[in-house]
């Protein structure tokens, strides 16, 4: 019986001890409140558990960002090459760093910074191992005495600020204290905080070595300090850092606390336990930190405050919509007396429609007064007329603006970047114009194809003894759109008193047809000097048909050139899309850096010039 009791007691002790051990395993490091209202920290667990959860003052934190430093990240490798590192220490440090570079993930970006009396960037951020391996193998001791440790950290932090990768790490190796920096330890820590970088420091603990600055750099930024008794242990230390990065999460979130408040931050990982750390939000004295508004109650700044404010705003919007709908439907008094005044439902709907039309008419009139004198406005009007679209120019302009604004709102709501938002907005604004332009080109081409047949129809009507106007009427009766529609318009204008020659010339301009313009010019001259109009139409029809055949022949001969132009223009976009799908990280510098944006702009401009040259080569004006 006593043995059973002992076994039960031992089992209970184990069950109680396991959560305690697991709870002690999770570590919350480097809680940073200097970027208020953003709070940042590092969460470490020796077993590398799953995604952590956060609580602020006992309330779960929603929407926080968590980045595992074992995934894609940017690493700045800082190596001390001061005179105290001459010989074997520097060689061992370079060899250990090269081994670390060789073992890094393919998508990790790594830079190499050496510091002695001055700081020197040996290799900028790159995913290629060779870019970092070569300068490490050629590293030499500084000829001038001094160790600019803090300046090196500041330089690395400033470089990390411009890196698009969310995971940012600084690994600094040194064997002595700083004695040549223009910046201070506090400045270096502040720069690391601004870059959201965790510092992992390595100290070669020789005679007279003081680990204080390196330890403070690591502790203040959520990293860790590693001491090496000799340089032969550096390879093991770098391996330990690589293993620790896989088990570290870098988290940040927007706090609901106010300046001066104390925050109890708790981090937990399922199956690993939890840990708690206290932090204080800067009071904001002497800074530009905003203080709490006296307009809102104190509870509005708590965890449930944003939800309560959202509900209040939603209620106000709902009431506003109800009042607006009530105003559209009419007042309560009018609804009560409508039976006595004779104002029925139909009249009410008609009045509302008239009011809406008046509002739209005033907006359209103002737009026409502001933009109607522009050359582009007249071009749009002519394009709509040629495409035979029953829209006013101002209506089409507002449709284009509405499509662009709607797409911009959708892109903004889905969190698109600025470049993507601008691209989608421009594309949406171009879609209505592209649709009208394609319809216009299709209609003009159909008219050109019908032109020889309709000229022959007019000639046949003239040979039968009919007048010129009757010949045009035959085209209207026997032809097909768009030719019969255009000639019907000419006859209508002529019946209203407009000269036939003017109506035909305007039709030629409206249809942008040089061939029809030649025919109308010939008809005008013949009517002035006399002659057989039917023979003239036969001759013009034959000439137009030959011109069209020649143009088709030229188009066939230049087909290979056009296809080559399309291929050369499309290949860059195709390759960019395929590489982005296959290896998105490889394309990050191009999409998310200032240099990449400049390269994209230069490429697009050069492609634009190339397109114009290719178009000039394959085009023919007959």
Name the residue among 459, 451, 458, 486 with its Cα closest to residue 472.
458
Distance separating alpha carbons of residues 35 and 28, to the nearest angstrom: 18
| pLDDT tens-digit map of 444-489 | 888 888 888 888 888 888 888 888 888 888 888 887 888 888 888 8
Same-domain pairing of 215 and 142? yes
Same-domain pairing of 213 and 265? no
Identify whether 590 is part of a domain: yes
Residue 571, pLDDT score: 92
Mean pLDDT in the chain? Answer: 79
% of the chain residues with pLDDT over 70: 83
What burial class does residue 45 get, using C-beta atoms within 10 Å of its C-beta: 0-12 exposed, 13-18 middle, 19+ buried? buried
Identify whether 157 is part of a domain: yes
pLDDT tops 90 at residue 606:
yes
Same-domain pairing of 141 and 161? yes
pLDDT tops 60 at residue 285:
no
Identify whether 267 is part of a domain: yes
Distance separating alpha carbons of residues 511 and 232, to the nearest angstrom: 85
Same-domain pairing of 159 and 192? yes
Which structural domain, as residue segments, surrounds residue 48? 2-65+257-280
Q: Which of 44-58, 165-179, 490-504 has the lowest mean pLDDT?
A: 44-58
pLDDT tops 60 at residue 541:
yes
| pLDDT tens-digit map of 65-97 | 787 777 888 888 888 888 888 888 888 888 888
| C-beta of residue 27 within 8 angstroms of C-beta of residue 183 | no
Region of 60 on the Ramachandran plot (φ > 0 left; ψ -120 to 50 alpha; else beta): beta
pLDDT tops 80 at residue 291:
no
**Element at 234 (helix H, strand E):** helix 234-246
Same-domain pairing of 34 and 167? no
| pLDDT tens-digit map of 327-362 | 555 555 555 555 555 555 445 555 556 666 666 777
| C-beta of residue 524 within 8 angstroms of C-beta of residue 592 | no
Residue 289, pLDDT score: 47
Residue 266 CB contacts under 8 Å (≥ 6 apart), including other chains:
54, 55, 56, 58, 274, 275, 276
| CATH label of the domain that carries residue 96 | 3.40.50.410
| C-beta of residue 157 within 8 angstroms of C-beta of residue 192 | yes
pLDDT tops 70 at residue 500:
yes
Residue 301, pLDDT score: 52
Same-domain pairing of 82 and 25? no
**pLDDT band of 261, cuts 50, 70, 90:** confident
Identify whether 402 is part of a domain: no
Same-domain pairing of 242 and 268? no
Residue 129, pLDDT score: 82
Distance separating alpha carbons of residues 612 and 244, to the nearest angstrom: 56
| C-beta of residue 117 within 8 angstroms of C-beta of residue 145 | yes
Residue 384 CB contacts under 8 Å (≥ 6 apart), including other chains:
391, 393, 396, 436
Identify whether 378 is part of a domain: no
On the question of a cis peptide bond just before residue 482, with omega within 30 degrees of 0, the verdict is yes
Same-domain pairing of 54 and 84? no
**Element at 371 (helix H, strand E):** helix 345-371
Region of 251 on the Ramachandran plot (φ > 0 left; ψ -120 to 50 alpha; else beta): beta
Same-domain pairing of 141 and 236? yes
Identify whether 156 is part of a domain: yes
More confident residue, 610 or 524: 610
pTM given for the model:
0.48
pLDDT tops 50 at residue 21:
no
Residue 57, pLDDT score: 80
**pLDDT band of 20, cuts 50, 70, 90:** very low
Count Cα atoms within 13 angstroms, Cβ side, for 15: 6
On the question of a cis peptide bond just before residue 37, with omega within 30 degrees of 0, the verdict is yes
Distance separating alpha carbons of residues 271 and 196, to the nearest angstrom: 28
* Sign of the alpha-carbon torsion through 174, 179, 181, 184: positive
Number of domains comprising the chain: 3
Residue 333, pLDDT score: 52
Same-domain pairing of 141 and 237? yes
Among residues 198, 226, 247, the one where a domain terminates is: 247
Same-domain pairing of 84 and 161? yes
Among residues 223, 247, 271, the one where a domain terminates is: 247
Identify whether 188 is part of a domain: yes
Q: What average pLDDT does range 246-254 have in this prediction?
A: 82
Which structure tokens are listed for 146?
A: 């001094």
**pLDDT band of 574, cuts 50, 70, 90:** very high
Identify whether 486 is part of a domain: no
Distance separating alpha carbons of residues 385 and 375, to the nearest angstrom: 16
More confident residue, 45 or 567: 567
Same-domain pairing of 179 and 76? yes
Strands 198-204 and 73-80, how do they pair? unpaired
């Amino acid at each position: 019986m006593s043995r059973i009791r002992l076994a039960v007691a031992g089992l209970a002790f184990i069950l109680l001890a396991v959560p305690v051990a697991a709870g002690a395993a999770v570590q919350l490091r480097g809680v940073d409140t200097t970027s208020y209202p953003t709070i940042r920290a590092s969460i470490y667990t020796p077993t590398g558990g799953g995604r952590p959860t956060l609580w602020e003052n006992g309330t779960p934190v929603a929407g926080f960002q968590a980045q595992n430093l074992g995934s894609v990240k940017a690493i700045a490798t800082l190596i001390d090459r001061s005179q105290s590192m001459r010989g074997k220490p520097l060689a061992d440090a370079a060899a250990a760093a090269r081994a670390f570079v060789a073992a890094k993930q393919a998508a990790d970006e790594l830079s190499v910074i050496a510091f002695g009396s001055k700081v020197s960037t040996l290799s900028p951020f790159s995913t290629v191992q060779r870019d970092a391996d070569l300068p490490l193998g050629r590293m030499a001791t500084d000829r001038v005495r001094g160790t600019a440790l803090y300046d090196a950290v500041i330089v690395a932090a400033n470089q990390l600020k411009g890196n698009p990768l969310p995971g940012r790490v600084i690994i600094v190796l040194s064997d002595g204290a700083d004695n040549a920096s223009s910046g201070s330890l506090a400045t270096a820590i502040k720069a690391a905080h601004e870059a959201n970088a965790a510092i992992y420091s390595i100290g070669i603990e020789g005679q007279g070595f003081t680990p204080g600055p390196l330890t403070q750099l690591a502790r203040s930024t959520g990293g860790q300090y590693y001491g090496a008794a000799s340089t032969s242990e550096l390879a093991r230390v770098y391996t330990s850092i690589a293993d620790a990065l896989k088990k570290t999460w870098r988290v940040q979130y927007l706090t609901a606390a106010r300046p001066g408040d104390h925050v109890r931050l708790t981090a937990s990982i399922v199956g690993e336990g939890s840990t708690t750390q206290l932090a204080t939000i800067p009071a904001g004295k002497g800074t530009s930190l905003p203080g709490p508004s006296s307009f809102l109650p104190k509870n509005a700044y708590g965890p449930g405050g944003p939800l309560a404010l959202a509900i209040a705003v939603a209620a106000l919007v709902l009431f506003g919509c109800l009042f607006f709908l009530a105003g559209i439907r009419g007042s309560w008094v009018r609804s009560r007396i409508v039976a006595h005044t004779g104002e029925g439902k139909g009249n009410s709907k008609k009045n509302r429609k008239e009011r809406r039309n008046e509002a739209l008419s005033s907006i359209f009139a103002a737009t026409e007064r502001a933009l109607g004198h522009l050359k582009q406005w007249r071009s749009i009007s002519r394009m709509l007329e040629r495409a035979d679209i029953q829209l006013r120019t101002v209506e089409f302009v507002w449709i284009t603006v509405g499509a662009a604004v709607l797409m911009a709102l959708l892109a903004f709501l889905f969190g698109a970047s600025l470049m993507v938002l601008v691209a989608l907005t421009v594309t949406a604004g171009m879609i209505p114009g592209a649709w009208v332009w394609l319809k216009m080109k299709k209609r003009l081409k159909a008219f050109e194809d019908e032109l020889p047949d309709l000229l022959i129809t007019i000639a046949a009507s003239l040979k039968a003894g009919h007048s010129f106007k009757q010949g045009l009427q035959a085209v209207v009766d026997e032809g097909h759109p768009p030719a019969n529609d255009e000639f019907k318009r000419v006859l209508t204008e002529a019946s209203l008193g407009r000269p036939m020659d003017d109506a035909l010339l305007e039709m030629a301009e409206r249809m942008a047809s040089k061939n029809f313009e030649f025919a109308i010019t010939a008809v005008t001259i013949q009517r002035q000097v006399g002659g057989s109009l039917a023979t003239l139409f036969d001759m013009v029809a034959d000439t137009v048909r030959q011109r069209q055949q020649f143009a088709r022949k030229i188009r066939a001969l230049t087909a290979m050139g056009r296809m080559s132009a399309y291929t050369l223009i499309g290949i860059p976009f195709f390759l960019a899309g395929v590489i982005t799908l296959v290896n998105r990280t490889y394309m990050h510098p191009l999409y998310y850096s200032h240099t990449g944006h400049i390269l994209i702009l230069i490429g697009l401009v050069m492609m634009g010039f190339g397109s114009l040259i290719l178009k000039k080569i394959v085009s023919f004006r007959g």
